[in-house]
Structure 1
């Protein structure tokens, strides 16, 4: 008896990155993170950069209806640095710097406390093919959230974005 082997679907091929395109995009994202941090520091700002272990696009139908949006998981070695810098009432603005490559968003999100000139930089990568539910949830609610959590699921901070198109649209759309 001969077992058929299923051919990989286009999403699994896209995720493999056999050409190294996504790897290069991630390197550019990290370089951009460093450039933004250096520019802010040269302007006298306090800057904290935290790395994400993983980023999910979560819709209301995926669990807790209120915990939707971009969910960034921080490795334990960045938790203390993030919690020391973060204050949900003070970080009232954000900028997103990014590009789309092979259906993935490679983005640096900069959370800004304009009063005390502090910035938190969060480079991430997420699959836009899995983001439709999140985008629909945000459109329905009129807001998108960014949640930063630990590997064990503890929410460390939440940012609210009333203007969220830069986080969910391909650049130049």
Structure 2
């Protein structure tokens, strides 16, 4: 649980956690590369992507789409699209770690028939996840959406186990509550 109260402001928390978060992000990227190397050693073709932004989104009045949205660089759009175009990716795995209310995540999509895997690394804040978690628990489904910075949708994946992405709904609720309290205190 994050520290709140008198004398602790968001800027101080960010500065105190910056080094640990940089290390966690570096470890996430290293893990993604190690997973890809292991697959390649076993004869798989891999596409690795470092997302420029990752956001958990909930349903809205305008859009029923929810899930984890990865915004990927334009130079990775073509390799991603080519892999998705010719493969189904029926299997997936989620590797995640938490640091100071942030989730450092690698989502691995696998097509065993073609021995092709896509690995995408990202980071997002638990405090922004409540809408996504509520939609996932209500539908007992989770989605991953991949798009470019300009909003071009490149692909979506459906997942039957939202708990791989959010193993503790309570943790998400706690972070959302802390954020709400911080916004309402003056």
- 1:143 is matched with 141
- 2:73 is matched with 75
Partner Cα distance (1:48, 1:165) in 2: 25
Decide whether the 8 Å contact of 1:70 with 1:145 is kept in 2: yes
- 1:84 is matched with 82
Decide whether the 8 Å contact of 1:146 with 1:160 is kept in 2: yes
Say which is worse superposed, 122-131 or 83-92, in terms of deviation: 83-92
- 1:55 is matched with 54
Structure 1: runs of 5+ lacking an equivalent: 1-6
Runs of 4+ in 1 over 3 A off after TM superposition: 7-19
- Kindly report which structure 2 residues correspond to 1:26-41, keeping only aligned pairs within 5 A, or say none: 26-41=25-40
Query: How far did 1:64 drift?
Result: 0.8
- Alignment of 1:153 with 2:151, yes or no, is yes
- 1:112 is matched with 110
Decide whether the 8 Å contact of 1:88 with 1:158 is kept in 2: no
SS at match of 1:168: coil
Partner Cα distance (2:105, 2:38) in 1: 17
Provide TM-score, normalisation by structure 1: 0.86
Partner Cα distance (2:7, 2:62) in 1: 29
SS at match of 1:20: helix
Q: Deviations over 1:38-95 (max 9, x none)?
A: 0000000011101211001100037411x21100101111111111111496111101
- 1:3 is matched with none
Decide whether the 8 Å contact of 2:137 with 2:162 is kept in 1: no
Higher helix share: 2
**Number of corresponding residues:** 164
Provide TM-score, normalisation by structure 2: 0.80
